[in-house]
Structure 1
Amino acid sequence: MKLYPILVVLTILTIGCKDKPKPVVKSIPRPTVSNDGNRITFPDTVMMRSFTTEPAHSEVIRTDFSAPGHVAAMVLKSTENPAERLVLFDEPSLSENYTAILQHRINIQTERGNLGRVKDLQAHGAASGKEVIEAQTQLANEQAAIISDEATLKLAGFDPEELRRARPNTILVVCEIPENQFGMIKKGLPCTLNFTSFPNERFVGRIDNVNDYVDNTTRQIKLRISVPNPDGRLKAGMFATVGFGVTEGKFMTVSRDAVVTVQGRDYVFVKTGPQAIERRELQLGQQRQDRVVVLGGLRENEPVTVVNTLQLKGLSFGY
């Protein structure tokens, strides 16, 4: 008789356990990333709260930068032909190129004169068509050869025409600047130079050539700077640090915490919607304290992520 209440309780507990539903495990929502990694879309605005943004804005700042360089050539007046310039390069191969260009110029003038003479003879029946073709071929060969030598000089930062017009008693300094600094550089800009051989002196130069191409590997652009050298103290091959002055102006800046760098390229993440963030590549200038100058890639007041950017970097680039 005493077992009856116990059996009733056990029966009720058993029924209760059978009727209790099992908990449903819900999947955790995750952000969606585009195939190229440029756009990240979040499932709700709650997840976006951890990625604080601030607007990119312009401000008046002072910015400057410097770059290493070396004296790549000296320009002297030729004693044999005062109309020509004697150029002493720090690389013997460039001297050979420049000398070849001067010789090609003489040869081209000679071949043009020869072609004109042969054509005149042909007009009077004293020369054949074959001789005209041979004269044309000789001229074309010289013109092709000079193009090759001129290209070699230009790749090294020299323009053959400008070398012929360069002032005597001048040195030519070649330096390279990063691509992202190019917007601040232009032909004719003055600069200061400190040479290792004369650490306590400052020399003044001027940019007289900016190369037409960016090196594919280093992403650098060559500049050529002319510096007066009346006493001949500065020699080909000397090293220098080139300072490009101080520029005060209004520049757009972003927080240094907003910038991530991947394989030598700089990026920020811009909020483009309530649940969307876009990766943006930038061209950056100098850093001032905790701010970085933006030379390109952003518009005024665009909201840039400044908190948890490393998480966005991992989502965008897959690591």
Structure 2
Amino acid sequence: MKLYSILLLALLATACKEKPKPVVQSIPRPEISADGSKITFPDSVMIRAFTTQAARASAIRTDFSAPGHVAAMVVRSVENPSERLVLFDEPGLSNNYTAILQHRINIQMERGNLERVRDLQAHGAASGKEVIEAQTQLANEEAAIISDEATLKLAGFDPKELRQAAPNTILVVCEIPENQFGSIRKGLVCTLNFTAFPNEKFMGRIDNVNDYVDNTTRQIKLRISVANPDGRLKAGMFATVQFGIAEGNAMTVSRDAIVTVQGSDYVFVQTGHKTIERRAVQLGQQRDDRVVVQGGLTDNDQVVVENVMQLKGLSFGY
């Protein structure tokens, strides 16, 4: 009985002992500089979540397309092989072009007539009134040709270039947005895909850029010449014009690397095994999923491209 009492007391004493409290370890947190521009991680394991890409300058290229149509065909005249016929898809433009050709002939005739009348006046065989009449006829023809030339130019055609266009050529007119105009220039080679020939590519060259921007659509007309030796391409056909423009070397970063705060753009650069720094950058145009960086980075900077929003929260306190 005595032994039983001793064992019971021992068990009660053990049960009454206070259980040890579990030790709670604090989770290490990154250290943030006072201005938020530098983030230092407690170990290199934590920083692995922020994958980086090296910033490097490389050749960039602008690729975009625009709808167009064959607005005219240039062929040789059957009656006079040295002359060119321009067949427009709009009858009104054909009338304008024909009128211009006639005005050119008339102007030459009126200039000759004016010289003749002036010579007659100098010899007393013509009056001042006849000279004025000859001058008026010439002025009327010169005014008329200006009006018809303006109509053609609004449609994307230059009358002088039409007269010099190579035979067996089609002229495609397309419109591009104003914000793409800076990368377009006369002589640029482009690729065309015609609805009538979906599996073929045709090469063309820009030979005219209009002098004005449409006030409503903010579009600029281009004229593109395309060789058409077999005559398969016809006036009125629709096409898609593809422009590929090399713009030299530039530094670019992934658009996922960029954060914008209060109108300013930033990226995060890993500068050490456990350190990431915030950099203000000046950005240019976007090219697909890349953005041109005009300032703020140097070659081979390790720019963070994953989990950037977490860094934004740490850096700016969001």
TM-score, with length taken from structure 2: 0.64
1:50-199 to structure 2, matched below 5 A, reads 59-60=57-58, 61-199=60-198
The question of whether the paired residues in 2 share the 8 Å contact of 1:58 and 1:300 is answered with: no
User: Could you tell me the percent identity over the aligned residues?
Assistant: 79
Secondary structure, in 3 states, of the residue corresponding to 2:160?
A: helix
The question of whether the paired residues in 1 share the 8 Å contact of 2:284 and 2:291 is answered with: no
Are residues 293 and 241 of structure 1, via their aligned partners in 2, closer, same or farther at CA, if it must alter by over 3 Å? Answer: farther
Q: CA deviation at 1:215?
A: 1.3
Mapped to 1, the partners of 2:64 and 2:234 lie a distance apart of 25
Q: CA deviation at 1:96?
A: 0.5
The question of whether the paired residues in 1 share the 8 Å contact of 2:61 and 2:244 is answered with: no
Deviations 1:170-189 (A, max 9, x none): 00001111111112111111
AA matched with 1:243: Q
Q: CA deviation at 1:82?
A: 2.7
Deviations 1:79-103 (A, max 9, x none): 2233321001011110010000000
- Among 247, 266, 269, the residue aligned to 2:263: 269
Unaligned runs of 5+ in 1: 1-45, 50-56, 261-267, 272-279, 308-319
Secondary structure, in 3 states, of the residue corresponding to 1:116?
A: helix
Mapped to 2, the partners of 1:113 and 1:83 lie a distance apart of 25
The question of whether the paired residues in 2 share the 8 Å contact of 1:59 and 1:253 is answered with: yes
TM-score, with length taken from structure 1: 0.64
Mapped to 2, the partners of 1:86 and 1:107 lie a distance apart of 19
Alpha-carbon RMSD:
3.1
Deviations 1:38-76 (A, max 9, x none): xxxxxxxx9x99xxxxxxx99533431111110000001
The answer to whether the aligner puts 1:300 opposite 2:288 as a matched pair is no
Mapped to 1, the partners of 2:73 and 2:196 lie a distance apart of 16
Secondary structure, in 3 states, of the residue corresponding to 1:69?
A: strand
Count of residue pairs the alignment pairs up: 230
1:279-294 to structure 2, matched below 5 A, reads 284=285, 287-289=287-289, 291-292=290-291
Secondary structure, in 3 states, of the residue corresponding to 1:214?
A: coil
Deviation above 2 Å: which 4+ runs of structure 1? 57-63, 80-84, 245-260, 268-271, 291-294, 299-302
The question of whether the paired residues in 2 share the 8 Å contact of 1:70 and 1:175 is answered with: yes
Deviations 1:82-136 (A, max 9, x none): 3321001011110010000000000000100110110011011010000000000
Q: CA deviation at 1:213?
A: 1.2
Mapped to 2, the partners of 1:292 and 1:239 lie a distance apart of 33
Which of the pair has more CA radius of gyration? 2
Q: CA deviation at 1:245?
A: 2.5
1:196-215 to structure 2, matched below 5 A, reads 196-215=195-214
Mapped to 1, the partners of 2:139 and 2:284 lie a distance apart of 44
Unaligned runs of 5+ in 2: 1-33, 37-54, 266-281, 298-307, 310-318
Q: CA deviation at 1:300?
A: 3.3
The question of whether the paired residues in 2 share the 8 Å contact of 1:180 and 1:283 is answered with: no
